[in-house]
Protein backbone atom coordinates (compact mmCIF):
# COMPACT_ATOMS: atom_id res chain seq x y z
CA UNK A 1 0.00 0.00 0.00
CA UNK A 2 2.84 2.38 0.89
CA UNK A 3 4.55 1.69 -2.44
CA UNK A 4 1.40 2.67 -4.31
CA UNK A 5 0.80 5.77 -2.18
CA UNK A 6 4.41 6.98 -2.49
CA UNK A 7 4.45 6.58 -6.26
CA UNK A 8 3.95 9.61 -8.49
CA UNK A 9 2.69 7.59 -11.44
CA UNK A 10 1.68 4.05 -10.46
CA UNK A 11 0.60 1.54 -13.10
CA UNK A 12 -2.01 -1.13 -12.34
CA UNK A 13 -1.80 -3.82 -14.98
CA UNK A 14 -3.23 -7.24 -15.77
CA UNK A 15 -6.75 -8.14 -14.59
CA UNK A 16 -7.42 -10.70 -17.30
CA UNK A 17 -7.48 -13.71 -14.98
CA UNK A 18 -9.25 -11.97 -12.09
CA UNK A 19 -12.90 -12.05 -11.22
CA UNK A 20 -15.13 -9.06 -11.87
CA UNK A 21 -15.06 -8.12 -8.17
CA UNK A 22 -11.27 -7.73 -8.17
CA UNK A 23 -11.35 -5.73 -11.40
CA UNK A 24 -13.88 -3.33 -9.88
CA UNK A 25 -11.63 -2.78 -6.85
CA UNK A 26 -8.66 -2.24 -9.15
CA UNK A 27 -10.39 0.61 -10.97
CA UNK A 28 -11.37 2.20 -7.65
CA UNK A 29 -7.79 1.98 -6.36
CA UNK A 30 -6.49 3.53 -9.60
CA UNK A 31 -8.99 6.37 -9.21
CA UNK A 32 -7.96 6.99 -5.59
CA UNK A 33 -4.22 7.07 -6.19
CA UNK A 34 -4.39 8.77 -9.58
CA UNK A 35 -2.69 5.94 -11.41
CA UNK A 36 -2.83 4.41 -14.86
CA UNK A 37 -4.88 1.23 -15.12
CA UNK A 38 -4.58 -1.07 -18.09
CA UNK A 39 -5.61 -4.59 -18.92
CA UNK A 40 -4.16 -7.12 -21.35
CA UNK A 41 -6.87 -6.20 -23.86
CA UNK A 42 -4.75 -3.21 -24.80
CA UNK A 43 -1.92 -5.47 -25.96
CA UNK A 44 -3.60 -8.40 -27.62
CA UNK A 45 -7.17 -7.61 -28.48
CA UNK A 46 -6.61 -3.89 -27.98
CA UNK A 47 -7.02 -2.76 -31.56
CA UNK A 48 -10.38 -4.51 -31.67
CA UNK A 49 -11.69 -2.23 -28.96
CA UNK A 50 -11.42 1.19 -30.67
CA UNK A 51 -12.45 -0.50 -33.92
CA UNK A 52 -15.68 -1.70 -32.33
CA UNK A 53 -16.28 1.44 -30.29
CA UNK A 54 -15.98 3.72 -33.30
CA UNK A 55 -18.58 1.90 -35.35
CA UNK A 56 -20.78 0.57 -32.52
CA UNK A 57 -21.11 -2.96 -33.84
CA UNK A 58 -23.89 -4.91 -32.17
CA UNK A 59 -23.06 -8.57 -31.61
CA UNK A 60 -25.05 -11.63 -30.58
CA UNK A 61 -24.46 -14.56 -28.26
CA UNK A 62 -22.55 -17.68 -29.22
CA UNK A 63 -25.72 -19.72 -28.81
CA UNK A 64 -27.26 -17.74 -31.66
CA UNK A 65 -24.22 -18.52 -33.77
CA UNK A 66 -24.54 -22.18 -32.85
CA UNK A 67 -28.24 -22.33 -33.68
CA UNK A 68 -28.44 -20.17 -36.77
CA UNK A 69 -25.17 -19.65 -38.61
CA UNK A 70 -24.40 -21.71 -41.69
CA UNK A 71 -21.27 -19.79 -42.68
CA UNK A 72 -18.45 -19.24 -40.19
CA UNK A 73 -15.42 -17.10 -41.04
CA UNK A 74 -12.17 -17.27 -39.04
CA UNK A 75 -9.84 -14.41 -39.84
CA UNK A 76 -6.34 -14.40 -38.37
CA UNK A 77 -7.13 -16.93 -35.67
CA UNK A 78 -6.52 -20.61 -35.05
CA UNK A 79 -9.23 -21.77 -32.62
CA UNK A 80 -8.11 -25.41 -32.84
CA UNK A 81 -4.97 -24.30 -31.02
CA UNK A 82 -6.04 -21.24 -29.04
CA UNK A 83 -9.68 -22.12 -28.14
CA UNK A 84 -9.78 -25.94 -28.28
CA UNK A 85 -13.44 -26.25 -27.20
CA UNK A 86 -14.77 -23.45 -29.38
CA UNK A 87 -15.52 -25.39 -32.56
CA UNK A 88 -17.11 -28.34 -30.81
CA UNK A 89 -19.34 -26.16 -28.62
CA UNK A 90 -20.39 -23.35 -30.91
CA UNK A 91 -19.47 -23.76 -34.55
CA UNK A 92 -18.17 -26.54 -36.78
CA UNK A 93 -18.88 -29.62 -34.68
CA UNK A 94 -21.84 -28.26 -32.69
CA UNK A 95 -25.21 -29.81 -33.49
CA UNK A 96 -28.10 -27.41 -33.65
CA UNK A 97 -31.82 -27.29 -34.15
CA UNK A 98 -32.27 -25.61 -37.50
CA UNK A 99 -29.87 -27.58 -39.68
CA UNK A 100 -29.44 -31.33 -40.02
CA UNK A 101 -25.92 -32.66 -40.28
CA UNK A 102 -24.43 -29.33 -39.27
CA UNK A 103 -20.84 -30.52 -39.62
CA UNK A 104 -21.24 -31.06 -43.37
CA UNK A 105 -23.65 -28.22 -44.09
CA UNK A 106 -21.90 -25.45 -42.20
CA UNK A 107 -19.31 -23.75 -44.37
CA UNK A 108 -16.06 -22.80 -42.68
CA UNK A 109 -13.89 -20.14 -44.31
CA UNK A 110 -10.43 -19.32 -42.99
CA UNK A 111 -8.42 -16.23 -43.88
CA UNK A 112 -4.85 -16.35 -42.61
CA UNK A 113 -1.28 -15.53 -43.55
CA UNK A 114 -0.14 -19.06 -42.70
CA UNK A 115 -1.51 -22.58 -42.82
CA UNK A 116 -2.94 -23.52 -39.44
CA UNK A 117 -4.72 -26.46 -37.84
CA UNK A 118 -8.01 -24.61 -38.43
CA UNK A 119 -7.25 -23.97 -42.10
CA UNK A 120 -6.85 -27.74 -42.58
CA UNK A 121 -10.49 -28.15 -41.50
CA UNK A 122 -11.82 -25.30 -43.62
CA UNK A 123 -13.98 -25.60 -46.72
CA UNK A 124 -12.26 -22.52 -48.11
CA UNK A 125 -8.80 -21.33 -47.08
CA UNK A 126 -7.59 -17.93 -48.25
CA UNK A 127 -3.87 -17.42 -47.82
CA UNK A 128 -3.04 -13.75 -47.57
CA UNK A 129 0.41 -12.22 -47.87
CA UNK A 130 1.73 -11.28 -44.40
CA UNK A 131 0.42 -7.91 -43.25
CA UNK A 132 -1.97 -7.47 -46.20
CA UNK A 133 -5.30 -8.21 -44.51
CA UNK A 134 -6.55 -4.66 -44.98
CA UNK A 135 -6.28 -4.92 -48.78
CA UNK A 136 -8.20 -8.21 -48.87
CA UNK A 137 -10.91 -6.84 -46.57
CA UNK A 138 -11.26 -3.81 -48.79
CA UNK A 139 -11.44 -6.04 -51.88
CA UNK A 140 -14.30 -8.01 -50.28
CA UNK A 141 -16.12 -4.76 -49.59
CA UNK A 142 -15.69 -3.76 -53.23
CA UNK A 143 -17.19 -7.10 -54.32
CA UNK A 144 -20.16 -6.68 -51.99
CA UNK A 145 -20.72 -3.25 -53.48
CA UNK A 146 -20.99 -4.92 -56.90
CA UNK A 147 -17.80 -3.45 -58.38
CA UNK A 148 -15.64 -6.54 -58.69
CA UNK A 149 -14.44 -5.55 -62.18
CA UNK A 150 -12.44 -2.75 -60.62
CA UNK A 151 -10.21 -5.27 -58.79
CA UNK A 152 -6.90 -6.57 -60.15
CA UNK A 153 -6.50 -10.30 -60.85
CA UNK A 154 -4.51 -10.85 -57.63
CA UNK A 155 -5.06 -9.00 -54.36
CA UNK A 156 -2.20 -9.52 -51.88
CA UNK A 157 -1.60 -13.05 -53.07
CA UNK A 158 -5.30 -13.93 -53.32
CA UNK A 159 -6.99 -14.72 -56.63
CA UNK A 160 -9.88 -12.35 -57.35
CA UNK A 161 -12.15 -15.26 -58.43
CA UNK A 162 -11.64 -16.96 -55.06
CA UNK A 163 -12.74 -13.81 -53.26
CA UNK A 164 -15.78 -13.50 -55.56
CA UNK A 165 -16.71 -17.12 -54.80
CA UNK A 166 -16.36 -16.55 -51.05
CA UNK A 167 -18.36 -13.35 -51.25
CA UNK A 168 -21.19 -15.32 -52.90
CA UNK A 169 -21.02 -17.97 -50.16
CA UNK A 170 -21.28 -15.32 -47.47
CA UNK A 171 -23.96 -13.33 -49.26
CA UNK A 172 -26.17 -16.40 -49.66
CA UNK A 173 -25.75 -17.54 -46.06
CA UNK A 174 -28.61 -17.34 -43.58
CA UNK A 175 -26.44 -16.10 -40.72
CA UNK A 176 -22.70 -15.44 -41.01
CA UNK A 177 -20.39 -15.24 -38.00
CA UNK A 178 -16.97 -13.60 -38.23
CA UNK A 179 -14.38 -14.63 -35.64
CA UNK A 180 -11.37 -12.34 -35.73
CA UNK A 181 -8.09 -13.03 -33.99
CA UNK A 182 -4.72 -11.55 -33.25
CA UNK A 183 -3.54 -12.38 -36.75
CA UNK A 184 -5.73 -9.47 -37.78
CA UNK A 185 -5.46 -7.13 -34.80
CA UNK A 186 -1.69 -7.37 -34.30
CA UNK A 187 -0.55 -7.30 -37.88
CA UNK A 188 0.02 -4.21 -40.03
CA UNK A 189 -3.02 -1.94 -39.92
CA UNK A 190 -3.99 -3.06 -36.39
CA UNK A 191 -7.23 -1.32 -35.36
CA UNK A 192 -7.83 -0.10 -38.90
CA UNK A 193 -8.16 -3.77 -39.92
CA UNK A 194 -10.86 -4.20 -37.29
CA UNK A 195 -12.58 -1.07 -38.45
CA UNK A 196 -12.58 -2.51 -41.96
CA UNK A 197 -14.12 -5.79 -40.73
CA UNK A 198 -16.89 -3.88 -38.96
CA UNK A 199 -17.50 -1.83 -42.12
CA UNK A 200 -17.61 -5.10 -44.06
CA UNK A 201 -20.17 -6.53 -41.63
CA UNK A 202 -22.22 -3.37 -41.96
CA UNK A 203 -22.22 -3.80 -45.74
CA UNK A 204 -23.03 -7.51 -45.39
CA UNK A 205 -25.98 -6.85 -43.14
CA UNK A 206 -27.77 -5.51 -46.21
CA UNK A 207 -27.65 -9.05 -47.61
CA UNK A 208 -27.60 -11.39 -44.62
CA UNK A 209 -27.31 -11.37 -40.82
CA UNK A 210 -23.68 -10.89 -39.80
CA UNK A 211 -22.01 -10.73 -36.44
CA UNK A 212 -18.39 -10.28 -35.37
CA UNK A 213 -16.62 -11.84 -32.39
CA UNK A 214 -13.08 -11.02 -31.35
CA UNK A 215 -11.42 -14.25 -30.18
CA UNK A 216 -10.47 -12.92 -26.72
CA UNK A 217 -7.66 -15.07 -25.48
CA UNK A 218 -7.34 -14.33 -21.79
CA UNK A 219 -9.82 -15.85 -19.38
CA UNK A 220 -11.81 -12.88 -18.15
CA UNK A 221 -10.64 -10.11 -20.42
CA UNK A 222 -14.16 -9.21 -21.54
CA UNK A 223 -15.03 -8.41 -17.94
CA UNK A 224 -11.91 -6.29 -17.42
CA UNK A 225 -12.87 -4.23 -20.45
CA UNK A 226 -16.51 -4.00 -19.39
CA UNK A 227 -15.83 -2.96 -15.78
CA UNK A 228 -13.38 -0.25 -16.82
CA UNK A 229 -15.77 0.96 -19.50
CA UNK A 230 -18.68 1.22 -17.06
CA UNK A 231 -16.72 3.24 -14.51
CA UNK A 232 -14.45 5.43 -16.64
CA UNK A 233 -16.09 5.34 -20.05
CA UNK A 234 -13.05 3.75 -21.67
CA UNK A 235 -12.34 0.03 -22.16
CA UNK A 236 -8.62 -0.05 -21.35
CA UNK A 237 -5.53 2.10 -20.69
CA UNK A 238 -7.14 4.76 -18.51
CA UNK A 239 -5.04 7.40 -16.82
CA UNK A 240 -6.60 8.86 -13.63
CA UNK A 241 -3.73 11.31 -12.95
CA UNK A 242 -5.96 14.27 -13.89
CA UNK A 243 -8.70 13.17 -11.49
CA UNK A 244 -10.90 11.97 -14.34
CA UNK A 245 -10.32 9.15 -16.78
CA UNK A 246 -8.12 9.95 -19.78
CA UNK A 247 -7.65 7.44 -22.60
CA UNK A 248 -5.20 7.68 -25.45
CA UNK A 249 -3.80 4.47 -26.99
CA UNK A 250 -0.10 4.91 -27.59
CA UNK A 251 0.22 7.22 -24.59
CA UNK A 252 -1.65 5.63 -21.68
CA UNK A 253 -1.23 2.01 -22.77
CA UNK A 254 0.90 -0.16 -20.48
CA UNK A 255 3.58 -0.92 -23.09
CA UNK A 256 4.14 2.78 -23.78
CA UNK A 257 4.04 3.82 -20.11
CA UNK A 258 6.63 1.16 -19.25
CA UNK A 259 8.82 1.63 -22.32
CA UNK A 260 9.03 5.39 -21.66
CA UNK A 261 10.15 4.55 -18.07
CA UNK A 262 7.24 6.71 -16.94
CA UNK A 263 5.73 4.73 -14.08
CA UNK A 264 7.54 4.49 -10.73
CA UNK A 265 5.57 1.60 -9.23
CA UNK A 266 3.53 -1.22 -10.70
CA UNK A 267 0.78 -3.45 -9.34
CA UNK A 268 0.22 -6.57 -11.44
CA UNK A 269 -2.89 -8.63 -10.82
CA UNK A 270 -3.80 -11.86 -12.63
CA UNK A 271 -1.32 -11.53 -15.47
CA UNK A 272 2.26 -12.25 -16.47
CA UNK A 273 3.79 -9.23 -18.24
CA UNK A 274 7.23 -10.87 -18.05
CA UNK A 275 6.05 -13.37 -20.64
CA UNK A 276 3.84 -11.12 -22.75
CA UNK A 277 5.51 -7.70 -22.89
CA UNK A 278 8.56 -6.71 -24.96
CA UNK A 279 11.99 -6.71 -23.30
CA UNK A 280 12.28 -2.94 -22.62
CA UNK A 281 9.05 -3.10 -20.58
CA UNK A 282 10.40 -6.03 -18.53
CA UNK A 283 13.62 -4.10 -17.93
CA UNK A 284 11.67 -1.20 -16.44
CA UNK A 285 9.52 -3.54 -14.33
CA UNK A 286 12.75 -4.90 -12.80
CA UNK A 287 13.94 -1.40 -11.92
CA UNK A 288 10.81 -0.15 -10.10
CA UNK A 289 8.96 -1.58 -7.10
CA UNK A 290 6.72 -4.16 -8.77
CA UNK A 291 4.04 -5.97 -6.78
CA UNK A 292 2.53 -9.12 -8.20
CA UNK A 293 -0.76 -10.58 -6.99
CA UNK A 294 -1.08 -13.96 -8.68
CA UNK A 295 -1.68 -17.61 -7.80
CA UNK A 296 1.32 -18.78 -9.85
CA UNK A 297 5.06 -18.29 -9.79
CA UNK A 298 5.73 -17.15 -13.32
CA UNK A 299 8.15 -15.07 -15.39
CA UNK A 300 7.04 -11.80 -13.73
CA UNK A 301 7.87 -13.18 -10.28
CA UNK A 302 11.57 -12.79 -11.12
CA UNK A 303 10.95 -9.11 -11.92
CA UNK A 304 8.84 -8.38 -8.83
CA UNK A 305 9.88 -6.98 -5.47
CA UNK A 306 6.78 -8.40 -3.74
CA UNK A 307 4.74 -11.45 -4.70
CA UNK A 308 1.40 -12.07 -2.97
CA UNK A 309 0.09 -15.59 -3.62
CA UNK A 310 -3.68 -15.83 -3.99
CA UNK A 311 -6.33 -18.44 -4.66
CA UNK A 312 -6.84 -19.62 -8.23
CA UNK A 313 -10.06 -18.50 -9.91
CA UNK A 314 -12.40 -21.44 -10.36
CA UNK A 315 -10.29 -23.76 -8.19
CA UNK A 316 -10.26 -22.24 -4.70
CA UNK A 317 -11.88 -18.86 -5.44
CA UNK A 318 -15.33 -18.11 -6.83
CA UNK A 319 -16.80 -15.19 -8.71
CA UNK A 320 -18.07 -14.12 -12.12
CA UNK A 321 -16.32 -14.66 -15.44
CA UNK A 322 -17.51 -13.28 -18.79
CA UNK A 323 -17.50 -15.27 -22.00
CA UNK A 324 -16.13 -13.64 -25.15
CA UNK A 325 -19.65 -12.80 -26.31
CA UNK A 326 -20.32 -10.93 -23.04
CA UNK A 327 -22.42 -13.56 -21.27
CA UNK A 328 -21.68 -13.66 -17.52
CA UNK A 329 -20.86 -17.11 -16.13
CA UNK A 330 -20.77 -17.68 -12.34
CA UNK A 331 -17.74 -19.78 -11.38
CA UNK A 332 -17.78 -21.89 -8.22
CA UNK A 333 -14.77 -23.02 -6.28
CA UNK A 334 -13.85 -26.67 -5.87
CA UNK A 335 -12.46 -26.48 -2.37
CA UNK A 336 -11.51 -24.05 0.38
CA UNK A 337 -7.79 -23.34 0.60
CA UNK A 338 -5.94 -21.10 3.00
CA UNK A 339 -5.18 -18.49 0.35
CA UNK A 340 -7.21 -15.29 -0.01
CA UNK A 341 -8.68 -14.43 -3.39
CA UNK A 342 -7.20 -11.46 -5.27
CA UNK A 343 -10.42 -9.54 -4.53
CA UNK A 344 -9.87 -10.03 -0.78
CA UNK A 345 -6.26 -8.82 -1.02
CA UNK A 346 -7.28 -5.80 -3.09
CA UNK A 347 -10.11 -4.98 -0.70
CA UNK A 348 -7.64 -4.76 2.19
CA UNK A 349 -5.36 -2.52 0.13
CA UNK A 350 -8.35 -0.39 -0.94
CA UNK A 351 -9.56 0.12 2.65
CA UNK A 352 -6.06 1.11 3.81
CA UNK A 353 -5.69 3.58 0.94
CA UNK A 354 -9.12 5.07 1.76
CA UNK A 355 -8.09 5.45 5.41
CA UNK A 356 -4.82 7.15 4.53
CA UNK A 357 -6.55 9.49 2.07
CA UNK A 358 -9.33 10.25 4.53
CA UNK A 359 -11.99 9.01 2.11
CA UNK A 360 -15.15 7.55 3.64
CA UNK A 361 -16.70 4.47 2.02
Partner 1 sequence: MKFLLNTGRTTSQCSNLSMKNSFEYQHVVSACSMNPVDMMILGLEDDNHIILSRNGVMVIVYITEEEEVDRGTLFLPAGPYANFLLDFDTHGTGVPDFKWVEVSVSITTLDIIPVWKLMAACGGVRYEG
Looking at residue 128, what DSSP letter applies? P
The region of 147-155, 169-177, 197-205, 250-258 touching partner 1 under the rule CB under 8 A is 250-258
Answer for which of 256, 316, 325, 342 binds partner 1 (CB under 8 A) is 256
Q: Considering the rule CB under 8 A, would residue 299 count as an interface residue with partner 1?
A: yes
Q: Considering the rule CB under 8 A, would residue 37 count as an interface residue with partner 1?
A: no
Instruction: State the nearest-atom distance from the C-beta of 44 to partner 1, in Å.
Output: 8
Closest among 358, 312, 347 to 1, alpha carbons compared: 347
The region of 136-144, 160-168, 205-213, 277-285 touching partner 1 under the rule CB under 8 A is 277-285
Closer CB to partner 1, 129 or 318, in the complex: 129
Sheet holding 71-75, edge to edge: 124-127, 107-112, 71-75, 175-180, 209-214
Q: Residue 11, class by beta-carbon neighbours within 10 Å (0-12 exposed, 13-18 middle, 19+ buried)?
A: buried
Residues 221-240 as x/- pattern, contact with partner 1 by CB under 8 A: ---------------xx---
Answer for which of 122, 281, 324, 349 binds partner 1 (CB under 8 A) is 281
Q: Considering the rule CB under 8 A, would residue 261 count as an interface residue with partner 1?
A: no
Alpha helices by DSSP H, the chain: 2-6, 20-33, 48-55, 62-68, 79-82, 86-89, 102-105, 133-144, 160-171, 182-185, 191-204, 221-232, 254-259, 273-276, 279-287, 342-357
Cα distance between residue 238 and residue 218, in whole Å: 19
Element (H, E) at 28: helix 20-33
Instruction: State the nearest-atom distance from the C-beta of 265 to partner 1, in Å.
Output: 16
Helix or strand or coil: residue 18?
coil
- 271, 281 Cβ separation under 8 angstroms: no
Where in 124-183 is the site for partner 1 (CB under 8 A)?
130-131, 182-183
**Count of residues of this chain found to bind partner 1 when the rule CB under 8 A is applied:** 60
The region of 25-33, 141-149, 273-281, 348-356 touching partner 1 under the rule CB under 8 A is 273-281
| The residue count for the chain | 361
Q: Considering the rule CB under 8 A, would residue 193 count as an interface residue with partner 1?
A: no
**Residues making contact with partner 1 (CB under 8 A):** 42-44, 46-47, 78, 80-82, 84, 113-116, 130-131, 182-183, 185-188, 190-191, 217, 236-237, 249-250, 253-256, 258-259, 272, 274-283, 285-287, 295-304, 307
Amino acid sequence: MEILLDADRPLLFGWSNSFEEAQLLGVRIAGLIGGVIDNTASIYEGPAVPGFEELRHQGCTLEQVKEKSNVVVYWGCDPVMSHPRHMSRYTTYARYLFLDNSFRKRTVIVFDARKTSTSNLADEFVKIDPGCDYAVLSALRVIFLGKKDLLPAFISGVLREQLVHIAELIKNSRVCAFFIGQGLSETRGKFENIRNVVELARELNKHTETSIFPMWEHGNIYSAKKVLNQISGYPSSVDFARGVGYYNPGETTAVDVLARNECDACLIVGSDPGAILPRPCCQHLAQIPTIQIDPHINATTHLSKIQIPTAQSGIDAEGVYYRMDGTPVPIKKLYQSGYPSDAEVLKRIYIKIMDSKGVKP
